[in-house]
Amino acid sequence: MVKKLVILKDITKTYQTGKVSYQVLKGINLEVEKGEFLAIMGASGSGKTTLLNIIGLLDKPTSGSYILDGEEVSKLSKQELAYIRNRKLGFIFQAFHLIPWATALENVLMPLLYRKEGISKKDEERAKKLLERLGLGDRIKAKPAELSGGQQQRVAIARALIGKPKLLLADEPTGNLDSKSSEEVIKIFRELNQEGITIIMVTHDPEIAKCAKRIKIIKDGNFIEK
Amino acid sequence: MRFLYIQILKDVWRELISNKVNLFFMILSLVISLTALNTIYSLGYSAKEQILNALANVQFGKDAMLILAGGGKIIGLTTTRRDTLKLGDAKEIEKLDFVKLVSPISLGTSEVSYKGNAEMIRIEGVFPNYTIATNWYPKTGRFINKNDLKRLSKVCVVGFDIPKKFGIKDPIGKKIKIRSEYFEIIGILESKPTFGHFNRNERIFIPLTTAQRRLFNKDYIDAIKILFQPGTNIDLAKYKIRQILRKRHKLYGIEPDDFRIITPDMAIKFFTSASKILTIFLLTISLISLIISGVIIMNLMYANIEEKSPIIALRVALGATSQRIIIHYLVMSLIIAFISGLIGWILSLLILKTIAYFTPLKAYFSWLTFLFSLSFAILTTIVFSLIPSVKATQVEPSILLKSL
């Protein structure tokens, strides 16, 4: 059993715009154990979303090594990365990112469509149960536009969970929500964490960050040691 | 696995109908291009076929020659006097040993009436051997004979469409008025394929002598059809006949011919060049419409998929491989092409049938052209939906997700 789920060593990320290069991450070192609930805080432009994208395999680091669940992933091909994202990771975005023409249920099932096996009846039942648990049992046929922000984010959480991921990544999950909906989302996160799911959340809101077990603050591309 | 394809198809279909206006315009552009191309090609082809058919059915024959009164180009106005070709010329030519048959023709247009219906009809004064010379025989009744010719009989043989045109029931034995004289109908010719304004089935044939003396009041003839013995050297025959005619017409030195000699190879040359021009014309139009439609489809597809690149990025983030994205948009292009192809096919057939109903053109639907244009449309659709979608999968998803 690998105890450490995420190991980042000297991760840097440089963006090149024409002749001007801009280093966003300057040698990040981070270890996340299984069952952790980590909040990464920082001002806008501090590099926290870039870091989360690298952890979530949506972006490649310029240099450094990244071991996810015991496997070095910084040199993998696009196909292999897609496979890992689908099986091991769950994403929750600030703007929910639901597919507008699909129903809540179809959105939740979307990640399973990219597996060789496709979607089974069992999967559908599981998706319905997930939506029920998140308080959307009566809205499974609703399109995203017919749902409130909080409801959309709960659909997105169900979509992130449907593939039974090892790691849940949330990028400002409450950024577009009112305080009541934010509380609900955080409550769900805590429950999920208690059930053993590892969560890494990026936020700039200290109140939200407080709910995590551990807080890391990023500034100018590196962590500030507390 | 089996269900996976149905699930993919459902996913694609949901995405397609999510933007019905866009889908409508994509299908519309494909349908218009397919329909336009196929209709233009089919009509052009059918026109060409019918022109060539009509020309071929003149039955000019391999060992034949036509002499027309008046000098000048084959087609067009004559540039000399045209009253010099006489029956005596025909008789002189008939004496040549390689000539099998000579059939003189006197032409004119007269008012023809029957029970109050009056029309201007082309009248041909001919010899009895006209049937052999043109390979055109009566369907009912008989043709003009030697006695009719001798007696200047007021009899006529009518083209196949004449009874219908004038509403004559049981035409044989009925009298029809040509100018101021009554002519008895003694025969109806079999129907000949025909094109446009020159409907050969709307002519009336009378004895040559009757035509010259009773109707047109002229002593010259307008044409001579000549058949040769098999194996005759046409060039030599043409040379000899020309010498005879020039001598008889007293043409010397640089004076131009006051007649035109049309030989089979001249006719063939004229037909094939006409056919070639039509083919080039058709190909050019087809090519232009293909290119135009290609550019339109290209733009629509490209813009449509490029707009979707954040969604593609989302799918990639959720674990879709580039193969799956390619399959997704391949299926989408095929659905669009299939629907458009079906509508385009039905629409072209409808338009063709409608045009065929109102014009003399036949509805000729070319499957080859249709399949060719359809595969071109499918290919353009596929290529220009795959380029932007593959491009979207190459970018790190995090970048494209920002714009979602």
SS (H, E, C) chain A: CCCEEEEEEEEEEEEEECCEEEEEEEEEEEEEECCCEEEEECCCCCCHHHHHHHHCCCCCCCEEEEEECCEECCCCCHHHHHHHHHHHEEEECCCCCCCCCCCHHHHHHHHHHCCCCCCCHHHHHHHHHHHHHCCCCCCCCCCHHHCCHHHHHHHHHHHHHHCCCCEEEEECCCCCCCHHHHHHHHHHHHHHHHCCCEEEEEECCHHHHCCCCEEEEEECCEEECC
Strand runs labelled E in B284-355: none
Q: Least CA distance to A50: which residue of chain B?
A: B398
- Nearest to residue B320, comparing CAs of A83, A119, A55, A96? A83
Residue A88 contacts B where some CB pair is shorter than 8 Å: no
Query: What does the pLDDT read at residue A37?
Result: 94
Query: What does the pLDDT read at residue B149?
Result: 93
What ipTM, to 2 d.p.?
0.91
Residues of A in Cβ contact (< 8 Å) with B18:
100-101
Query: What does the pLDDT read at residue A28?
Result: 93
Q: Where do the structural domains in chain B lie, given as residue ranges?
A: 2-55+270-401, 85-248
Asked if residue B392 lies in contact with residue B312, where contact means CB atoms within 8 angstroms, the answer is yes
Sites in chain A below the pLDDT cut of 70: 1-2, 226
- For chains A and B, count residue pairs whose Cβ atoms are closer than 8 Å: 83
φ, ψ of residue B148 to 5 degrees: the values are -55, -40
φ, ψ of residue A7 to 5 degrees: the values are -130, 115
Residue B8 contacts A where some CB pair is shorter than 8 Å: yes
pLDDT tens, residue order, chain B (404 aa): 557 888 889 899 988 898 888 889 888 888 888 888 888 888 877 777 776 666 655 556 678 888 989 888 766 677 788 889 999 999 999 999 999 999 999 999 999 999 988 999 999 999 999 998 888 899 999 999 999 999 999 999 999 999 999 999 999 999 999 998 999 999 999 988 765 556 788 999 999 999 999 999 999 999 999 999 888 888 899 999 999 999 999 988 888 899 988 887 777 777 777 778 877 887 788 788 878 878 888 888 888 888 888 899 999 999 999 899 999 999 998 999 899 989 999 999 999 889 888 877 777 788 888 888 888 888 888 888 888 888 888 888 888 887 76
Query: What does the pLDDT read at residue B86?
Result: 92
Q: Where do the structural domains in chain A lie, given as residue ranges?
A: 34-64+75-224
φ, ψ of residue A126 to 5 degrees: the values are -65, -40
The minimal CB distance from B314 to the residues A87, A97, A120 is found for A97
Query: What does the pLDDT read at residue B195?
Result: 56
Any residues with CB less than 8 A from the CB of B113 and at least 6 apart, and which? Answer: B119, B166, B176, B177
Sign for the CA dihedral angle at B329, B331, B335, B341 comes to positive
Residues of A in Cβ contact (< 8 Å) with B316:
82
Residue A2 contacts B where some CB pair is shorter than 8 Å: no
Question: Cα(B299)–Cα(A113) distance, rounded to whole angstroms?
Answer: 30
Question: Cα(A173)–Cα(A93) distance, rounded to whole angstroms?
Answer: 6
The end-to-end CA distance of chain A, in Å, is 30
Please name the residue that has the structure tokens 């001598």. B247
Query: What does the pLDDT read at residue A38?
Result: 94
- Nearest to residue A181, comparing CAs of A205, A156, A163, A154? A154
3-state secondary structure of B324: helix
Residue B200 tokens, joined:
């050969």
Query: Are A114 and B393 a contacting pair at CB < 8 A?
Result: no
CA A54 to chain centre: 11
Q: Class for domain A34-64+75-224, per CATH?
A: alpha beta
Query: Are A78 and B322 a contacting pair at CB < 8 A?
Result: yes
Q: Measured between CA atoms, how close is A176 to chain B, in angstroms?
A: 14
Query: What does the pLDDT read at residue B211?
Result: 93
- Nearest to residue B358, comparing CAs of B43, B15, B41? B43
**B-contacting residues of A 147-186, CB under 8 Å?**
159, 163
Asked if residue B47 lies in contact with residue B360, where contact means CB atoms within 8 angstroms, the answer is no
The minimal CB distance from B318 to the residues A114, A116, A119 is found for A114
Query: What does the pLDDT read at residue B57?
Result: 55
Strand runs labelled E in B42-154: 64-69, 99-114, 117-126, 138-141
* Other beta carbons less than 10 A from residue B288's beta carbon: 12
